[in-house]
């Protein structure tokens, strides 16, 4: 999933005036804070319904990490679900029939879509938090992650 942030002219001007490495550091710090403290808790909260409560494996499998930076995409942060059955719940399945002809059911697409609903449901809040954290990082010119946590409180 992908979210794009545009529109804050003052922030864009501040970022363009910075050196590339410093700008990328602040963008990565703000992105990590938003994923960790806004998006990931919402995804885990979406698992409180009919799915994710029996064993807890799906909730435990939600992780976030920073992939290796590329020249064309220097700042990225991924939210990953490592559970082997997560895609079946998110995207649904067709009706399963055994060799003996017994019907084993079907998962309708979108019935248990927890990741997309939580991600896109928190998009506005995440964008506002991203701008808030980024402004705090720029103001303090700090390399510590505590700046991001303080900005979100």
- SS3 track for the chain: CCCCCCCCHHHHHHHHHCCHHHHHHHHHHHHHHHHHHHHHHHHHHHCCCCCCCCCCHHHHCEEEECCCCCCCCCCCCEEEECCCCHHHHHHCCCCEECCCCCEEECCCCCCCCCHHHHHHHCHHHHHHHHHHHHHHHHHHCCCCCHHHHHHHC
pTM of the model: 0.64
pLDDT for 153? 65
- Which of the residues in the chain have pLDDT under 70? 1-8, 49-53, 66-77, 141-153
Give 28-41 pLDDT, tens digit per residue: 888 888 888 888 88
pLDDT for 16? 78
């Amino acid at each position: 999933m992908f979210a794009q942030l545009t529109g804050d002219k003052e922030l864009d001007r501040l970022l363009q005036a910075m050196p590339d490495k410093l700008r990328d550091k602040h963008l990565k710090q703000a992105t990590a804070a938003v994923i960790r403290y806004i998006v990931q808790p919402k995804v885990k909260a979406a698992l409180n319904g009919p799915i994710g409560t029996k064993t807890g494996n799906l909730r435990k499998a939600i992780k976030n990490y920073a992939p290796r930076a590329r020249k064309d995409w220097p700042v990225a942060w991924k939210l990953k679900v490592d559970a082997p059955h997560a895609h079946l719940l998110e995207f649904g399945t067709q009706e399963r029939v055994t060799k003996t002809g017994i019907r084993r059911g079907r998962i309708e697409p979108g019935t248990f879509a927890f990741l997309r609903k939580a991600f896109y449901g928190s998009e506005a809040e995440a964008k506002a938090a991203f701008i808030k954290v980024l402004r705090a990082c720029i103001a303090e010119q700090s390399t510590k992650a505590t700046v991001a946590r303080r900005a979100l409180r």
